Structure 1
Amino acid sequence: MVIDIQGIMDRIPHRYPMLLVDRVLEMVPGKSIVAVKNVTINEPFFQGHFPHLPVMPGVLIIEALAQAAAIFSFSNEDGTMLDSSKTAYYLVGVDGARFRKPVVPGDQLMLHAEAERISKVICKYKAKATVDGEVVAEAKIMCAIRDLG
Structure 2
Amino acid sequence: MTGPLLAPGGSVGTRPTGPRGYASPLRAVDRLEVLAREPHPRFVLYKTVDPEDPYMAGHFPGLTLLPAVFVLEGLRQAMTALLGVEEPLNLVEVRSARWLAPMQGGDEVRLDVAAEPLADGLWQLKADGVRQDGTPVAAVKVVLGDRTAAPAGDWPAPRAHGAHGGEAGRFADGVEGPDYARILELLPVRHPMLLVDRVEALEPGRRIVVAKAISGSEPCYQGLDDGLPLSRYMFPRALMLESFGQSSVLLWLCSDASEGVLVAAAFRDCRFHGEVRPGAVLRHEVWIERLMADNVFVSGRTWDGDRCVMTVGSLIGSARPRTQVDRTAVPDT
Aligned counterparts of 1:22 and 1:49: Cα–Cα separation in 2: 25
**Aligned with 2:320: secondary structure?**
strand
Gaps of 5+ in 1: none
TM-score, normalization: structure 2?
0.41
CA offsets 1:23-75 (integer angstroms, 9 cap, x no match) = 00101112110010000000001236887221111111111111111111112
Which of the numbers 273, 291, 301 marks the counterpart of 1:118?
Answer: 291
Shift of 1:16: 0.7
Say if 2:304 is the partner of 1:137.
Answer: no
SS at match of 1:127: strand
- Residue 3 (structure 1) shift: 2.6
How many Å separate the matches in 2 of 1:17 and 1:4?
Answer: 18
Which amino acid in structure 1 is aligned with residue 191 of structure 2?
Answer: Y
2:253 to 74, 77, 90: 74
- The alpha-carbon deviation at position 120 of structure 1 amounts to 2.1
- What is the alpha-carbon distance in structure 1 between the residues aligned to residue 197 and residue 214 of structure 2? 10
Q: Does 1:100 align with 2:273?
A: yes
Q: Is the 8 A contact 1:34 1:113 kept in 2?
A: yes
Matched, 1:10 2:189: no
Q: TM-score, normalised by structure 1?
A: 0.87
Letter in 1 for 2:239: L
The structure richer in strand per residue is 1
Contact 1:117-1:125 within 8 A present in 2 as well:
yes
CA distance in 2, matches of 1:49, 1:69: 31
Q: Which amino acid aligns with 1:147?
A: P
Q: Which residue of 1 aligns with 2:215?
A: 40
Please give the alpha-carbon distance, in whole angstroms, between the structure 1 residues aligned to 2:317 and 2:307. Answer: 26
Find the aligned partners of 1:110 and 1:10 in 2 and give their Cα distance. 21
Q: Distance in 1 between matches of 2:279 and 2:207?
A: 26
**What RMSD, in angstroms, separates the aligned Cα atoms of the two structures?**
2.0
Amino acid in the other structure paired with 1:38:
A
Instruction: Spell out structure 1 runs of 4+ moving beyond 3 A.
Output: 48-51
Query: Matches of 2:315 and 2:300 in 1, distance apart?
Result: 7
2:195 aligned partner: 20
2: CA distance, partners of 1:43 / 1:3? 24
2:286 & 2:321 partners in 1: Cα distance?
A: 23
| Partner Cα distance (1:33, 1:102) in 2 | 24
Task: Structure 2 unaligned segments of length 5 or more: list them.
Answer: 1-175, 323-331
Identity %: 25
Contact kept in structure 2, 1:49 and 1:55, CA below 8 Å: no
User: How many corresponding residue pairs?
Assistant: 143
Conserved in 2, the CA contact under 8 Å of 1:12 and 1:70?
yes
CA shift in 2, pair 1:11/1:33, >3 Å = same
Which residue of structure 1 aligns with residue 240 of structure 2?
A: 61
